[in-house]
């Protein structure tokens, strides 16, 4: 157990650990949503549960919760390298103020819950809004544990200890599932209690124990530090600037409440599936590489910094483009296999699958901007992503409204795609103009090649998916699974073989790790 908390990892192993944790967490999340879909389908009760996260998530974003660890790591690296005692004073000061701020905001939101419920879901009737306020008051205190836990996770990342942070989401989802299953007679309220319990145990208690065992935790009473002002100025843009990427899910929920009963749930289910490959590939690459980026920037080793960013970006697009294309092909059987059961009907499956296909169009952009964003943060530049993200978010609001009023849930998904595409393009252009294009060398050409090859592989994969080994009516799950498996097998074989022969320079890192078959493909091309 001690080694579990104390072990440190290099960048490659860190990426594997983070990816494994995220993959397991995402599957747990899908199982959680499966349980919700079976018990409640796409109904007003499930819509209320998803809408209950709008205000708590906004409070979290208001304190830069989603990026708190990211912005804190470079400062911790700097102060701990210069003077460990001073590092602890800085850490204690930040911990004190972030705890005070999140407690004050949570208390205020708890009091104003009935009014905030209307803001979160303006399309609900008074009775539904009253129940939403109950859900909101249960979930709100979880933000305290999330924010305090983020401080502790930043300390673990700075120490290159990735195991516990990688597993927090896994245990968090376990508690949500347990709460929903044990208290299912109380509707979605049980899942809300699971959120609160999971946030305390997994997001706060586990990192606390890991920090104590993995190098010590020396918190002290400290309300001021010379570095606090500088840190606040770096974090301030993330607090007052709300990026498209952090508000996207809230946009789906808010505008979804205007698109009719079930729309919030359809969009939430679709987005959850879309985010699985993004999280496993991009979040793992970004989280694992970020401490090393921050360290390289502190050391002013810009050549290696740009190289690290370039490699992470190329890896992300090389994996996400083919995954996205294939997942668009199997969207319907995927949704049917995961969710269609109990109160989740065939109509719900069809609606969710269409939304999933739309959202998958920009899955690669989601992954790309996660890595590039961390490149900005490693340089202690939080202003640029915040300004660009806020501008894109503000400009997207009329787009969301217009497309929602005309096309309903599908219009909401389309608006989400457009906003993320715009934000990704703006970040890339700004970086190239202000910093240069070294971090993007070969990315565009490589992406076009991978994209063309993925589209070529899509045709035989689509044909393989149409082979009916089982009756869809009599054995819907076996039919779905066989369609997914056959399509995935054909797509994978075609892609590996063709990429090894046509774009070996792009897929070389993966083929080299694929064993004798991968190395043989590389040799055959070289020969």
- pLDDT tens figures, 1-47: 444 444 444 455 555 666 666 667 777 877 888 888 888 887 888 88
* Residue 472 CB contacts under 8 Å (≥ 6 apart), including other chains: 479, 480
CA distance 330 to 484: 6
Distances (CA, A) of 31 to 144, 273, 489: 26, 11, 24
SS3 readout for 125-155:
CHHHHHHHHHHHHHHCCHHHHHHHHHHHHHH
Tokens encoding 46:
């499930």
Residue closest to 54 by CA, chosen among 270, 62, 438, 299:
62
Report the phi/psi class of residue 70: left, alpha or beta, with left for phi > 0 and alpha for psi in -120 to 50.
Answer: alpha
Average pLDDT, the chain: 84
Could you count the other beta carbons within 10 Å of the beta carbon of residue 261?
15
Residue in this structure with the two tokens 């097998």, named with its chain if needed = 489
The DSSP secondary-structure symbol of 344 reads -
Give percent of the chain above pLDDT 70.
87
Residue closest to 408 by CA, chosen among 513, 224, 262, 517:
262
pLDDT(483) > 80: yes
Residue closest to 246 by CA, chosen among 56, 432, 410:
56
pLDDT at 4: 45
Q: How confident is the model at residue 523 (pLDDT cuts 50, 70, 90)?
A: low
- pLDDT tens figures, 137-192: 999 999 999 989 888 888 887 877 777 777 888 899 899 999 999 998 888 999 99
Q: Structural domain boundaries of the chain?
A: 2-441, 442-527
CA distance 190 to 334: 27
Residue closest to 134 by CA, chosen among 78, 189, 185:
189
- pLDDT tens figures, 388-433: 888 888 899 999 999 999 999 999 999 999 999 999 999 999 999 9
- Average pLDDT of span 242-248: 69
pLDDT at 526: 47
* Residue 464 CB contacts under 8 Å (≥ 6 apart), including other chains: 486, 487, 489, 490, 491
CA distance 450 to 502: 10
Q: What is the DSSP string of 363-395?
A: HHHHHHHHHHHHHHHHTT--HHHHHHHHHHHHH
Tokens encoding 409:
């849930």
The CA-to-CA distance between both ends of the chain, in Å, stands at 50
Give percent of the chain above pLDDT 90.
33
Angle at which helix 331-339 crosses helix 346-360, to 10 degrees, equals 130
With beta carbons less than 8 A apart as the criterion, state whether 159 and 214 touch: yes
CA distance 466 to 460: 10
Q: How confident is the model at residue 103 (pLDDT cuts 50, 70, 90)?
A: very high
Enter the pTM of the model. 0.74
Could you count the other beta carbons within 10 Å of the beta carbon of residue 280?
24
Q: How confident is the model at residue 508 (pLDDT cuts 50, 70, 90)?
A: low
CA distance 250 to 98: 23
- pLDDT tens figures, 307-363: 888 888 888 899 999 999 999 999 999 999 888 887 888 899 999 999 999 999 999
Question: DSSP alpha helices (H): ranges in 83-112?
Answer: 84-111
């Amino acid at each position: 157990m001690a080694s579990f908390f104390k072990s440190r990892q290099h960048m490659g192993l860190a990426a594997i650990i983070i990816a494994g944790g995220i993959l397991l967490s995402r599957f747990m999340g899908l199982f959680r949503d499966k349980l919700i879909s079976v018990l409640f389908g796409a109904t007003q009760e499930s819509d209320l549960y998803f809408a209950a996260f709008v205000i708590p998530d906004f409070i979290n974003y208001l304190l830069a919760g989603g990026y708190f660890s990211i912005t804190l790591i470079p400062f911790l690296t700097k102060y701990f390298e210069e003077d460990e005692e001073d590092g602890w004073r800085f850490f204690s000061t930040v911990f004190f103020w972030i705890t005070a701020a999140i407690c004050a905001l949570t208390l205020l939101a708890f009091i104003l819950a009935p009014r905030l419920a209307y803001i979160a879901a303006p399309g609900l009737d008074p009775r539904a809004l009253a129940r939403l306020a109950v859900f909101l008051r249960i979930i709100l205190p979880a933000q305290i544990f999330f924010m305090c836990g983020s401080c502790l996770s930043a300390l673990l990342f700075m120490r290159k200890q990735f195991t516990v942070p990688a597993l927090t989401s896994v245990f968090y989802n376990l508690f949500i599932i347990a709460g929903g299953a044990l208290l299912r007679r109380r509707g979605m309220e049980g899942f809300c209690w699971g959120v609160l319990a999971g946030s305390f145990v997994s997001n706060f208690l586990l990192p606390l124990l890991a920090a104590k065992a993995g190098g010590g935790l020396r918190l002290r009473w400290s309300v001021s530090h010379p570095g606090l002002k500088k840190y606040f100025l770096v974090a301030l843009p993330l607090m007052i600037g709300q990026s498209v990427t952090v508000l996207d899910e809230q946009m789906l929920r808010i505008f979804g409440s205007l698109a009719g009963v079930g729309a919030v749930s359809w969009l939430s289910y679709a987005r959850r599936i879309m985010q699985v490959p993004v999280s496993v590939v991009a979040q793992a690459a970004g989280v694992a590489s970020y401490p090393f980026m921050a360290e390289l920037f502190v050391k002013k080793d810009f050549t290696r910094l740009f190289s690290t960013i370039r490699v992470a970006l190329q890896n992300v697009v090389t994996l996400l483009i083919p995954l996205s294309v294939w997942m668009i092909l199997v969207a319907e059987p995927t949704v049917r296999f995961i969710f269609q059961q109990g109160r989740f009907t065939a109509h719900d499956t069809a609606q969710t699958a269409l939304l999933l296909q739309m959202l998958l169009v920009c899955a690669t952009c989601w992954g790309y901007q996660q890595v590039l964003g961390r490149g900005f943060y490693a340089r202690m530049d939080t202003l640029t992503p915040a300004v660009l993200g806020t501008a894109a978010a503000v400009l997207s609001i009329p787009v969301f409204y217009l497309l929602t009023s005309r096309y309903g849930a599908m219009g909401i998904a389309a608006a989400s795609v457009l906003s993320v595409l715009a934000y990704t393009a703006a970040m890339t252009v700004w970086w190239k103009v202000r910093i240069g294009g070294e971090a993007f060398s070969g990315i565009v050409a490589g992406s076009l090649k991978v994209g063309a090859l993925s589209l070529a592989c899509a045709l035989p994969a689509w044909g393989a998916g149409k082979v009916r080994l089982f009756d869809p009516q009599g054995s819907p799950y076996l039919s779905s699974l066989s369609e997914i498996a056959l399509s995935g097998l054909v797509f994978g074989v075609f892609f590996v073989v063709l990429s090894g022969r046509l774009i070996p320079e792009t897929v070389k890192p993966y083929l080299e790790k694929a064993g004798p078959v991968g190395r043989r493909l590389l040799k055959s091309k070289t020969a």
